[in-house]
Structure 1
Amino acid sequence: MHAPAFWWRDPGAAAALLRPAAALYGAIAASRLGGQGARAARPVICVGNPTLGGAGKTPTAIALSGLLAGMGEEPVFLSRGYGGRLQGPHVVDAGRDTSAEVGDEPLLLARSAPTVVARDRPAGAALAASLGSVVVMDDGFQNPSLSKDLSLLVIDAAVGLGNGLVFPAGPLRAPLMPQLARTGALVLIGAGRAGDALAARAGLPVLRARLEPDARALDGLGDLLAFAGIGRPQKFADTLQSLGRPAKRFVAFPDHHRYSAADAARLLDQAAAERLALVTTEKDLVRLRGDAALARLADACRALPVRLAFEAVETVRGLLAAALQRAKR
């Protein structure tokens, strides 16, 4: 879905009309947060976000996995597999599975560490525990079925919490305070007053981080036709701009968009007509692969890789080490 524009502005008439529905949704979500989940056989580190849409959870999970591996642990990712048809538990095979089967994010995660997809989180955690020493959950913060040893909430500092209201009046997945009460630290990605304001009032450790794009992926390309179907597509356009490679044409799709043959034909035709090079996100490119109808587009476009870098790496290591120690008592 495309996030409504009013979510990211001060509350107005549209948000006011939806407040009764938001109150009901928020009450249910808050009650679910209070549930006691099953304990996994291994420590569970959860990477979530308080709002709907993308904030950078997957790059954060991958960065944490790298730190855990450097600490001598054997991390295993656990994901719901949003957008995929497999119920799981299933160990992702990045060379054979497609996004239609396991979702797009698990295919990115599986490049870094063993990855399990499962609608049933405790069952998925049981399988993940057999493959490594610590489970890293990509999303699932608001799901109460599995107990977490450390939960991190990821926030895009440029937009923060938007209008601060609960869905559907705003982007929050649940009322803010019950979410913060179950959070070990905030991961604030990028810069922005919205993020700074939240950090000042959250009363939690704040781990600042940035997304670092690999500009070498654009070497040899001319003018760009960029497209993205992520939580906030404009972030991709802004990233290209920051690299001094602004897109001549930019096409935004909804988050987790399932590309059609018609989408592919339009993008290819426009690129050919204007002599533009196609560029997209890694997450979008994995959704194109494995579908014969999209093969031409997948072959024609290039992805811009990004990695997440924490500013205070030792602080993050300390939080992880403390969580592992608590879990193993």
Structure 2
Amino acid sequence: MKLNTPRWWYVRDSNHARITRTALKPLGWVWAAATARRIAKAAPVDPGGPVISVGNLTVGGSGKTPVAREILRLLRDRGLDAHALSRGYGGRLEGPTQVDPAVHAAADVGDEPLMLAQGSPAWIARDRVAGAKAAVAEGAQALVLDDGHQNPALNKTVSLIVVDGETRGDEWPFGDGSVFPSGPMREPLKAGLARADAVVILAPTDAETVDGELFRTFGDLPIFVARLTPEGPPPSGAQVGFAGIAKPWKVERSLKAAGCDLVDFVPFPDHAAYSHRDMAFLRDRAAVFGAGLVTTEKDWVRLTPAQRVDVTAWPVVARFEDEAAFAAFLTERIQSAR
């Protein structure tokens, strides 16, 4: 059963959040201890090529997949045959399987691998070592590991942490630092940063700068700022939006900031598989307002061809503010590992 992401996870100062966190703290300690034990006991494998891990420290919602897709583009532009490697969350196939958007659906391989496969070779594998070796055997000169920071199976050339750079009032990417389920953290901040080589802050599109306090959180680690940029304007006319991602409220906010005439917005759980009843409800809401339906690219790939009729995808891409500096950092790390 998929659940909506609790928004209070990301609020630092709130009596309600504080009481709930206190009750759940013991479960967070168990989760953190289990993660630390699993990582400490691992013996990472060299798959035969450089591995760029794109991960995060929180449960969903940081923008890993757009950043991974941009890294794949940058590596391809520099002559490297880079392949994506994902666990394939939400898909039924165990892999190793090379994703084919013309053949596979999100129910087969997951939504994120389908997005990555639109621009680069992409693989899914529950066993990351087997997936990496399969990709290298097919000519991969570099592997971009999507959501790999807490997976210690592979020897990583570069470990990147992607952080949601949005800070509004008491909302903070890490909340008060509590570990799941008392907060959004997959592991304590200090432990996660100790294995990182650099941080990518995904800044809000409607903010000119990133909060300086967030920069100071990462100490001496190199920090690169990227922004989610719409590939085009939202559809014209009245629209009912919907999204099944970790932070659906951010989609609503971004659509409005982009000038969309958003008359209603419906949030769904992360990675939601849309049923006929869900789509009937959405179409009824659109009919009430005489509006169209708009959603994210990640949600759109989870829809069946029949469900996609009259639904507009609004794709966004990640772009680095200093692309040359980030590309130079990656290139230097890859070359020094050879």
Q: CA deviation at 1:29?
A: 1.1
Counterpart for residue 27 of structure 1: 33
Q: CA deviation at 1:327?
A: 2.3
Q: CA deviation at 1:318?
A: 1.7
Q: What is the rounded CA distance, in whole Å, between the counterparts of 2:120 and 2:164 in structure 1?
A: 25
User: Do residues 127 (structure 1) and 134 (structure 2) align?
Assistant: yes
Unaligned stretches of 5+ in structure 1?
A: none
Counterpart for residue 265 of structure 1: 280
Q: Which of 211, 217, 234 is matched with 1:201 structurally?
A: 217
| Structure 1 consecutive aligned stretches of length 4 or more whose deviation exceeds 4 Å | 191-195
Q: What is the rounded CA distance, in whole Å, between the counterparts of 1:177 and 1:36 in structure 2?
A: 22
Q: How many residues align?
A: 321
Counterpart for residue 18 of structure 2: 12
CA RMSD after TM alignment: 1.5
- Structure 1 counterpart of 2:191, one-letter code: P
Counterpart for residue 311 of structure 1: 321
1:165-244, aligned counterparts within 5 Å? 165-191=178-204, 196-203=212-219, 204-218=221-235, 221-244=236-259
* SS of aligned partner of 1:26: helix
Q: Is the 8 A contact 1:33 1:178 kept in 2?
A: no
Q: Is the 8 A contact 1:160 1:194 kept in 2?
A: no
Q: Is the 8 A contact 1:77 1:116 kept in 2?
A: yes
Unaligned stretches of 5+ in structure 2?
A: 167-171
Q: What is the rounded CA distance, in whole Å, between the counterparts of 1:201 and 1:274 in structure 2?
A: 45
Q: CA deviation at 1:27?
A: 1.1
Q: CA deviation at 1:8?
A: 1.4
Q: What is the rounded CA distance, in whole Å, between the counterparts of 2:99 and 2:144 in structure 1?
A: 15
Q: What is the rounded CA distance, in whole Å, between the counterparts of 2:63 and 2:261 in structure 1?
A: 21
Q: CA deviation at 1:129?
A: 1.1
- Structure 1 counterpart of 2:33, one-letter code: A
Bigger fraction of residues in helix: 1
Q: What is the rounded CA distance, in whole Å, between the counterparts of 1:90 and 1:188 in structure 2?
A: 31
Deviations 1:86-141 (A, max 9, x none): 00000001111000000001110001110000000000000111232000011121
* SS of aligned partner of 1:215: coil
Counterpart for residue 71 of structure 1: 78
Moved more, 266-275 or 77-86: 266-275
Q: What is the rounded CA distance, in whole Å, between the counterparts of 1:27 and 1:195 in structure 2?
A: 31
Q: CA deviation at 1:217?
A: 4.8
Q: Is the 8 A contact 2:234 2:260 kept in 1?
A: no
Counterpart for residue 169 of structure 2: none
Counterpart for residue 99 of structure 1: 106
Q: CA deviation at 1:241?
A: 1.2
Q: Is the 8 A contact 1:30 1:175 kept in 2?
A: no
Q: CA deviation at 1:214?
A: 2.6
- Structure 1 counterpart of 2:252, one-letter code: A
- Structure 1 counterpart of 2:217, one-letter code: R
- Structure 2 counterpart of 1:51, one-letter code: T
